[in-house]
Copies of this chain bind each other. A is one copy, B any other.
Amino acid sequence: MNTPTKIAAVFQQRLTDIANDTEAALDRLLGPDSRTGERARPAHLMEAMRYSTLGGGKRFRPFLVVESAALFDVPRERAILVGAALECIHCYSLVHDDLPAMDNDDLRRGRPTAHKKFDEATAILSGDGLLTLAFDILSRPEVHPDAAVRIELVSSLAINAGLGGMVGGQMLDLAAEGRFGDGKPQPLKQNEIETLQAMKTGALLRYACIAGAMLGSADKTQRAALERYGAVLGEAFQIADDLLDVEGDAATVGKAIGKDAGMQKGTLVSLLGLDGAKQRLAARVTEAEESLAPFGERGEVLKAAARFVAERKA
């Protein structure tokens, strides 16, 4: 039996390895060589797309894809490609959310945001390019030999990243900040916060876990288990994020903190209090661990990931 300390070490090693492999894949995918059907890859746009995807990030979403897929012995390079596609979506959303017209952030992962490093037009277009590239990647035969699996990956990503998922969640978030109508922040009820967070942050995390099941041709029970794990993990992730906004340190977190309180929009921390939010976070971690029961010992690394999400400081 593995000790918790040993599992935590294995988790950290896997997280590092997968981050490195994802970085290498993105570096290749965003390389100078044109793909068949492309006319040219404009250097300035390429540079901006590389700036926003390479050289940073925990690559937690790719980690979830690769580790979920590993439960079914999926060839690692396939899962890395799906992880890279998902990271393109995640990174594009950060570039667009940081824009002056949106969250107006100057700092991201301790570096200037894309529109600060380049300019607004380049930032907008580089986001559009990354969003489009994600679907290019998922459509490649290297992702899976069966076209039916690839199209399922495309369909689910589009649904989770679009108006009923991530993009819709960002819209709800801006509305809660009072950006529309009378211009006043709209303090949300608990169920409204849960919907917003499930869309804005949860949808991609859930997709990461489902994608692993899709790649692995999981049966119904296994797939439901990973879907449940992904959903609960997403909730834990967001509560931890809200706690960091209150208790975190800007230098460690790598972006501006205390913004939620300034915005007066509701979070689970403002509704439940610090202790209430922490209790809820602990409950979600337990639930995430329990959802992995069908996988026995093979689920240990994903269980450690749930604990990591709750304990992270950045």
Contact = CB atoms under 8 A, between A and B. Distances in A.
Interface of A: 34-42, 44-46, 49, 92-93, 96, 99, 101-102, 119-122, 124-125, 127-129, 131-133, 135-136, 138-140, 146-148, 150-152, 154-165, 167-168, 170-172, 174-175, 179-180, 195, 198-199, 203
A274 to B, nearest CB: 27
DSSP majority for the A interface?
helix
A85 to B, nearest CB: 10
A209 to B, nearest CB: 14
8 contacts: A96-B128, A122-B171, A125-B167, A128-B128, A129-B163, A135-B157, A140-B155, A146-B147
Nearest to A206: B37
B151 A124 contact: no
B132 A162 contact: yes
A168 B198 contact: no
A135 B158 contact: yes
A39 B140 contact: no
Given A131-B131, A158-B132, A158-B139, A121 B174 contact: yes
With most chain B CB atoms within 10 A of its CB, the pick from A156, A160, A163, A167 is A163
A186 to B, nearest CB: 12
A136 B148 CA distance: 14
B198 A39 contact: yes
With most chain B CB atoms within 10 A of its CB, the pick from A132, A135, A156 is A132
A168 B133 CA distance: 12
A278 to B, nearest CB: 25
Contacts of A175: 42, 44
A49 B163 CA distance: 9
A35 B164 contact: yes
A164 B101 contact: no
Contact of A124 (B37, B38, B101, B168): B101
B151 A139 contact: yes
Contact of A46 (B38, B150, B163): B163
Nearest to A146: B147
A124 B100 CA distance: 11
Contacts of A165: 37-39
Contacts of A92: 128
B170 A125 contact: yes
Given A148-B147, A154-B139, A179-B119, A168 B40 contact: yes
Contacts of A157: 135
Contact of A131 (B101, B132, B136, B159): B132
Contact of A163 (B45, B124, B172): B45
Contacts of A38: 159, 162-165, 168
Given A167-B45, A167-B125, A199-B40, A162 B147 contact: no
A195 B160 CA distance: 35
B128 A101 contact: no
B151 A132 contact: no
